[in-house]
Chain A
């Protein structure tokens, strides 16, 4: 097959369309598949999504010994090709060549963990049974040797009938040989099924396969595997209908009758028979020295998942991560702020004052800068998440926290995304990618923005400092209360969602607890890079566009000369000001004036913009030392018209209402954009924004009322 490299820009030589190979990596999770992918392709790779689903699609390329470009597709980590989860469905469709925009691979590299050969070979066998050219990369050979496991590679190769290449991806051992064998084995059809059933059943299965082949319903070499699937676990009426309908249905029924008569269950015979074939092979080819398996890992687990010590250590680790995000990350965040400020001043000095200057300085640089400033926190967060995933600790967190998260109707795996959201909901939502269950994932995404993120912190700090009376202890208590409010509401929302929109029995997850391993810095770094690129891409597109729109709303139309000369804020005269005034009927019940309305509107780009918007409206420089001045200005602000004329705008009840509003509202374009991206539909971001705004508005109203009744 002749085609263009899928990574044309990364591999210019492949542009003449000749002989570019496409290799797919398939394997169980935790097998070193990602490490192998990184070692093969270096840093040249692209991350995207498969059309219509939220499964990550990772592509890379390398040049083999002859200089030919080889494209590498990293399939999602799965335990089988049975298509019961989105990940498995993707892997299966790619292997069968049924994926839109992805040609059928010329070869599949089945990544097999040498420390757990049998279970890994199960997937590898499913792959080569489809007839696609297959090569087994035996990873973790070093770990296996440490654990006293010896693999007779030549014997394994001979018994399975597919090439087997041992590699140590972390040290790039065996990579050259792997590349050589990939070039040699590609496009040579694999051996097919190595196990058989009774002759009578085989005849019926062959009949199903023949009908599939005659009607071109599957690639000819895959018809046998496809027939097994239809007769067995995937023989749902819908699938059979998609695979030829009545005629195939008849053959499938005949095969099932034969199976039943022979005493097999149609949904288990395939699994049992495949293991029945693989286990003796593994027993002949793998030697284990007695008694030294996983002892270190088991001892580590004894501490890390200890009844008391486990949760305590986890809490300690969390405290450390939050310290890093909220204290250490502020240093590089300061650099970014100064850089953004510096760029703004340079731009401002280079051009005359006016609309264009304002657009570039306030709209583009200021708007995007206010979001990019969170990049250090996101990098820190993904560094720790990467470490936890790569060492195997993340699975233990899910194991320990499952009971707790379950009270809320969630799974142990929701724990980390939700905790990450205290820094920023964007990486939190991206971190839900490790969750296999769609419903649990959706619920986690929809409640993650209720965790108080760091962009809310400037608002909390300003209003608590300015309006909460009492000692610093009281102020700290209010701050804690705001965080707790978000958590409590999130629990409520999760319970409601689990009973309404996300109802239906969730597939109970089986979690693998892989042995602990030393983290591979490169794997962690690559993941950090991928996730932050996504974030920056967002900042460069959605956030840039919305910043410009919001800038225009607050800039146009310009106030007449005499008003500007009188020192009135130009914002009042702008569209934003007009919208703020027009929002009065909505704002009045909360006791908010039009300026707060403008602040809420403009903070849609990023919540902390509310603070700078207040600064602009009240003509106070709100940066650096200016927050004290802004707090003082807000305290003295009074109503200039209407029934409250002369009274302070920011009473205690207004301040509390505003704080509650910000705890519960989804005033964040980045979050909505990432939800749109991750759920692949506008429905969920619209729903998210809608329900949180309703909650925020009613919550603010109640909080304001309660405070004023209590004498605030």
Chain B
């Protein structure tokens, strides 16, 4: 299974499961990272971590170690943002 941290900038996927620390998981879900949601990696920070993601038009930043807890189904190609 791939995780969010496996995606390169511009690549997108569909969230399968948000895992990890219960508080963080809850916070991410409250911010809209639910299973079935389309998610895209926008860029990595200049020093390689954290990463910027886009979900439902909102941009969030989270650290790689947390991105590894988010299981995704990659979407083919550098998919465009869903509108």
Residues on B with C-beta less than 8 A from A305 are: 43, 45-46, 52
Q: Once the chains bind, are A508 and B30 in contact (CB under 8 Å)?
A: no
The complex places the Cα of A404 from the Cα of B50 at a distance, in Å, of: 11
Would B46 and A513 count as touching, CB distance under 8 A? no
**Which size bracket describes the interface of B in this complex?**
20 to 34
Known: A271-B29, A301-B43. 20 other contacts (CB 8 A): A79-B30, A82-B30, A115-B57, A116-B57, A267-B26, A271-B26, A301-B42, A305-B46, A306-B46, A399-B50, A400-B45, A402-B45, A402-B63, A403-B48, A403-B50, A507-B23, A510-B24, A510-B27, A510-B28, A512-B58
A508 near B45 (CB under 8 angstroms)?
Answer: no
Please state if A294 and B57 are interface contacts (CB–CB under 8 Å).
Answer: yes
Does A501 interact with chain B (Cβ within 8 Å)? no
A sample of 14 inter-chain contacts (CB < 8 A) reads: A79-B27, A82-B26, A84-B26, A118-B32, A118-B56, A268-B26, A271-B34, A307-B46, A399-B45, A403-B45, A403-B48, A508-B62, A511-B62, A512-B59
Residues of A within 8 A of B78 (CB): none
Indicate if A258 sits at the interface (CB-CB under 8 A): no
Chain A residues with CB under 8 A of B57: 115-116, 293-294
User: Is A310 in contact with chain B by the CB < 8 A criterion?
Assistant: yes
| Cβ–Cβ contact B48 & A510, under 8 A | no
Of A80, A306, A513, A515, the contact of B30 (CB 8 Å cutoff)? A80
Q: Which among A115, A271, A404, A505 has the greatest number of chain B C-beta atoms within 10 A? A: A271
Within 8 A of B (CB), among A425-474: none
Shortest A232–chain B CB gap in Å is 10
Closest A residue to B63 by CB, please name it. A508
Chain B minimum-CB-distance residue to A288: B83
Interface membership of A291, Cβ < 8 A: yes
In the complex, what distance in Å separates the CA atom of A267 from the CA atom of B29?
10
Of A80, A275, A508, chain B has the most CB atoms within 10 Å of the CB of A508
Please, what's the 1-or-0 string for B34-60, where 1 marks a CB less than 8 Å from any CB in chain A? 100000001101111110100011111
A122: chain B residues within 8 A (beta carbon): 30, 32
Max count, chain A CB within 10 A of own CB: residue among B28, B56, B60, B65? B56
Asked if A275 and B47 sit within 8 Å, CB to CB, the answer is no
Instruction: Indicate with 1 or 0, residue by residue over B1-39, a CB within 8 angstroms of chain A CB atoms.
Output: 000000000000000000001111111111110100000
Query: Is A310 in contact with B46, judged by CB distance below 8 angstroms?
Result: yes
Contact of B24 among A267, A404, A508 (CB under 8 A): A508
| Chain A residues near B28 (CB-CB < 8 A) | 510
Min CB distance B55 to A, Å, is 9
